[in-house]
Structure 1
Amino acid sequence: MEINIQKKVLEANETQADKNRSFFKEQNVFVLNMMSSPGSGKTQLLCKSLNKLMPNVRVGVIVGDICTRNDADRLEITGAKAVQINTDQFGGDCHLSANLILASAKELGCFDLDLVIVENIGNLVCPAEFDIGEDAKVVVLSVTEGEDKPLKYPLMFRVADVAILNKIDLLPYLDFDAKLAKDNMKQVHPHLPVFEVSAKTGEGLETWLEWLKIKVFEKTGK
């Protein structure tokens, strides 16, 4: 019975994700789903990315958390509009599902945007299973985590279109093998692009953002 219920949930989500995809296509906006475990530094990475993207790229953000709008408040300091989704009212879901995205995207005003970034809830399991109608998925892994995360959570890295290895400024102080981490990512997803970045110092940001701007242009022509 549990398997059947889960199957129905995923099927309903896929149906809504397809509707979201059609909406985003009509609005001519690129949608990026950013996923990671808690504490990977993705909010700081987003803040630095927004500061470099705007105003040339018009960006809005949908932020997912179980509680609080702390991250949305941080992101709005950059000048980007941010819409918060809290899942505590939906039972504390550890992911954003497709049905939660559409209303938030409309609240952002997609017709005025080139790019919508969804900062998913910190979790390496559930967000990988739920399509939200995005154009690309990015997974962020920090050097304060284990090199074997891609092997422990293979689906997340398998469905990702790009990976970011964050906090590389800490490498001199940690017993973390960046090459091994990237090799493990490639073992799960051989053609996965991986960018090494420090959200704190800005190192590597330009290469990552160049990839993103190309993807936005390929879809929107903007």
Structure 2
Amino acid sequence: MRGRIQTVVALLYPPRCLGCGDMVESDFGLCGRCWRDTPFIGGTVCDACGTPLPGSDDGHRLECDDCMERPRPWGRGRSALLYRDRARALVLALKHGDRAEMAKPAAKWMMRAARPLLRPGMLVAPVPLHWSRLLRRRYNQSALLSQALAGEAGLACCPDLLQRVRRTAKQDGKNVADRFAELAGAIAPHPGRRHRMAGRAVLLVDDVMTSGATLSACTTACLDAGAARVDVVTLARVTRDD
């Protein structure tokens, strides 16, 4: 009976490509063309942010120029996609296009990238939105990603572990120094949740990393609250070429 229902649903609502809307074989997938146009990150990467690096992995910690110029407060970082081409369109659809269903496949991509960071008992948490922005947008895309990723990894998730204690201006168009200055002191542990990270490893989740200012502010808040270590994973990474 269940199989018949699934067949009827598939006939009425055939699976569509997340990127272009063409029919595909399974739900939440990409067609061949969109898959080719989506820049997944693989191979040798920066240990701090996950951006691709030339050469082969020699077993030592490798960092990109951005992370060497501005050392990160977190331990290790990974990203699933480069923020360009089809990946940029997918991120914007999740963030501004009410495409919440995209969080599930995106979390699977992030899971592959984040696997080296995962450890037993790790707490997964998203970068927070200010309440006023959350009210306008109606959902936090990073929270959707963190919950889906935690489910994939079998880890606990705390969607409100952190909070924005003041509203910050949009970061578009700001230089790196201005981005960090804008975020200074803007993020703090939720008073009723900070005990959950004491002595514990935390995995911070965001949709896009550009300068790293937001993730740095979140990491500092976690470490000040007693987290044993903090690692980060993002769906996409902006590079200097983007």
Q: TM-score, normalising length from structure 1?
A: 0.33
Choose between structure 1 and 2: higher helix proportion: 1
Q: TM-score, normalising length from structure 2?
A: 0.31
Which of the pair has the greater relative contact order for Cα pairs under 8 Å at 6+ separation?
Answer: 1
